[in-house]
Structure 1
């Protein structure tokens, strides 16, 4: 990680507030060298696994409505160098935004880490032609990382549980990297079988990077912790996502987090960075305020938060109405015992309510009858046993109202 000069959070926030105004003041004809002089240093960096480069410990998600070339440029000027997108984000427009930004500032390409994803539903071999479509959509020659998007049994079938340790996927990944069209390969995952996929990847040893739903309140030694340790020891780069979703409705500050001099959401980020196995956090920062808040958190992070603070964060989550369980043992165990896709449905409702993502309706309608049928599911018991008391009866009701 890059060394940081001492600075108070308050002073840095004051200086970062001025950044948007400074950006608008730069003439469109300014030379690249003068633009560079206006830009702050990149955010602190971490090594992305055995095969990856150093990347900024915060990266810009590509799914939010604010995403456009100007917004990407703002993130760059605030120190972000890692940009995440996918074939389906904004129906392909997100990739085009990234490509337009790259082509406007070609001198930055060597320092930008660009990730996209696709859905090889017919098998891993589809990735070999899908990557050409992704590059064509962005209008660029190569990407830094290519993901199988949302690895999961529902999306790719039971056989996909074996993909991360199979010769079949290894051959595809090797061919993709040999082509020069991508430098690294991996997958993203927020499936109920996440731990199985992680362990398979650790066993296979050829996956470069995994982006996963991360629970900053997990206890040391639990199954997720062990799986992450296995991946880290295998040299797999790990990127966190969905860590902020349970705190979407949390108060800006909370008495249980007094003494940190951080907002609740900054504590969440620093709790994730307290895990040295996590190289970067993918964050869907919806506006300038969130960009400022999150980049301040990255620049001010200097050491791991005490375990007591991370546990206090769990208490805050338990006292807050949260739209999605971050992954407590009770919910994870229940998900494997029932066909009712309550975790996926919670995520769709969250996307719809918090992000205005109308594609969530289509995702819900793609579920089969058993995955949508909660008539014989004790949702009250599911809620009461959840460590964070996610209101599954209410979420089920709202999903039918929004999507059915």
Structure 2
């Protein structure tokens, strides 16, 4: 995620789908959510413990979004039972958060706030936490993350960071001051498994937010890292789960119907494909919460309904969901570890390029996508000469690079 604040509305196809698929009646929920200053305390969603912290988070977390609708979204999320909220300096959302807390101070003790910054060295967090507190207009941060670990560090540097004596000392100082309760990092880096293993070994990190998918290969380094963190009591929050044609990108044919036909449990439980995806994520008991950047009433209502009606899926059902979603044409591989680029014989960052396209097309974050693309080296952007069929065959998400990469150049270059 980058620092630009451009506001882009939700994709119309996604909006239409969610409106049609919403399960809960709209009238009462909407009117209640819009009563912005109502003192009522709506029922929170189901919760899970965050590792060994002992704190229970709602299984659904409101992700950060940009634009003038964010304050309303925060209140709508609270009205729909969400009590875990994600923010970051880079998102430009903390000021809106602070305004909400100033206007409704009673909310602060009911919610769990996650925010992030990008220190190069652990000592920088001391000043950064003070800045985040001032912008959020709160006395403490529940969970402070090093944002996008690996984006500004080499893998070796990132591993040293989370294992360093300085990191432990700074974390301890911040906690003792009362400015933060817990500390950790977020990462969608292709080597995040190594960083997570290091965190589990060092015992400093309380929680990690990771790019994740519910059908992760059992023998993959990432799954082993998740296991290591789980056993050591490191809390895990899922982000950037899956994106594809069925989740907002304009598509040919009725992909949503096709997904439902392939996955009978969706019809049986009256779940949309995205609700089914959330149920698959929550079936993994190692995952405490799923962070989703919900942008409108329908998305909030649908996802909150999924949390309230959660029942674990069987392994065969998750496999059916996986096959249906891969067939529908994903644009982001949540298990990317760089194997696509290696198979294609290219130094181009194929996984990052398609992730930025996802930001542009499906998350509505066009300025972020362009900024992140511009930060890549020319070598990392140049996929010419790459064996794209070999890349697709190697990709755990079966991404159609031959279709996606020309779009990257057209949209982001």
Q: TM-score, normalised by structure 1?
A: 0.88
Pair 1:214–1:350, CA change in 2 (3 A): same
Residue 297 (structure 2) aligned to one of 276, 281, 288 = 288
Superposition pairs of residues 180-329 of structure 1, within 5 angstroms: 180-246=178-244, 248-249=247-248, 251=256, 254-260=260-266, 261=269, 262-302=271-311, 304-327=312-335
Deviation of 1:401 after TM superposition, in Å, equals: 1.9
Q: Is the 8 A contact 2:336 2:351 kept in 1?
A: no
Q: Are 1:356 and 2:358 counterparts?
A: no
Q: Is the 8 A contact 1:335 1:343 kept in 2?
A: no
The equivalent of 1:78 in structure 2 is 80
What stretches of structure 1 of length at least 5 have no aligned partner? 1-11
3-state SS of paired residue (1:70): helix
* Separation in 2, partners of 1:257, 1:308: 10
Pair 1:313–1:259, CA change in 2 (3 A): closer
Report which stretch shifted further, 359-368 or 61-70. 61-70
Residue 394 (structure 1) aligned to one of 391, 403, 409 = 403
Deviation of 1:230 after TM superposition, in Å, equals: 0.6
3-state SS of paired residue (1:62): coil
* Separation in 2, partners of 1:351, 1:221: 29
3-state SS of paired residue (1:188): strand
Report which stretch shifted further, 201-210 or 315-324. 315-324
Residue 375 (structure 1) aligned to one of 384, 406, 411 = 384
The equivalent of 1:168 in structure 2 is 166
Q: Are 1:155 and 2:125 counterparts?
A: no
User: What number of residue pairs does the alignment pair up?
Assistant: 379
Q: Is the 8 A contact 2:345 2:387 kept in 1?
A: no
Report which stretch shifted further, 58-67 or 236-245. 58-67
Q: Is the 8 A contact 2:341 2:348 kept in 1?
A: no
Pair 1:335–1:270, CA change in 2 (3 A): farther
Report which stretch shifted further, 317-326 or 333-342. 333-342
Q: Is the 8 A contact 1:65 1:286 kept in 2?
A: no
Superposition pairs of residues 45-56 of structure 1, within 5 angstroms: 45-56=47-58
3-state SS of paired residue (1:345): helix
The structure with higher relative contact order (CA 8 Å, sep 6+) is 2
* Separation in 2, partners of 1:79, 1:287: 15
Residue by residue over 1:58-93, the C-alpha shift from the partner in whole angstroms, topping out at 9 and shown as x without a partner, is 00001354752221111101100000011011xx2x
* Separation in 1, partners of 2:302, 2:342: 35
* Separation in 2, partners of 1:159, 1:331: 21
Pair 1:175–1:293, CA change in 2 (3 A): same
The equivalent of 1:7 in structure 2 is none
* Separation in 2, partners of 1:295, 1:219: 28
Q: Is the 8 A contact 1:210 1:237 kept in 2?
A: yes
* Separation in 2, partners of 1:86, 1:337: 36
* Separation in 2, partners of 1:259, 1:136: 47
Residue by residue over 1:266-313, the C-alpha shift from the partner in whole angstroms, topping out at 9 and shown as x without a partner, is 1100111001111111001121111111111100113x2100011011
The equivalent of 1:9 in structure 2 is none
Q: TM-score, normalised by structure 2?
A: 0.86
What stretches of structure 2 of length at least 5 have no aligned partner? 1-21, 249-254
* Separation in 1, partners of 2:118, 2:403: 31
Deviation of 1:341 after TM superposition, in Å, equals: 1.1
* Separation in 2, partners of 1:119, 1:185: 13
Residue by residue over 1:251-274, the C-alpha shift from the partner in whole angstroms, topping out at 9 and shown as x without a partner, is 165112123421111110011100
3-state SS of paired residue (2:399): coil
Superposition pairs of residues 113-132 of structure 1, within 5 angstroms: 113-121=112-120, 123-132=121-130
3-state SS of paired residue (1:259): helix
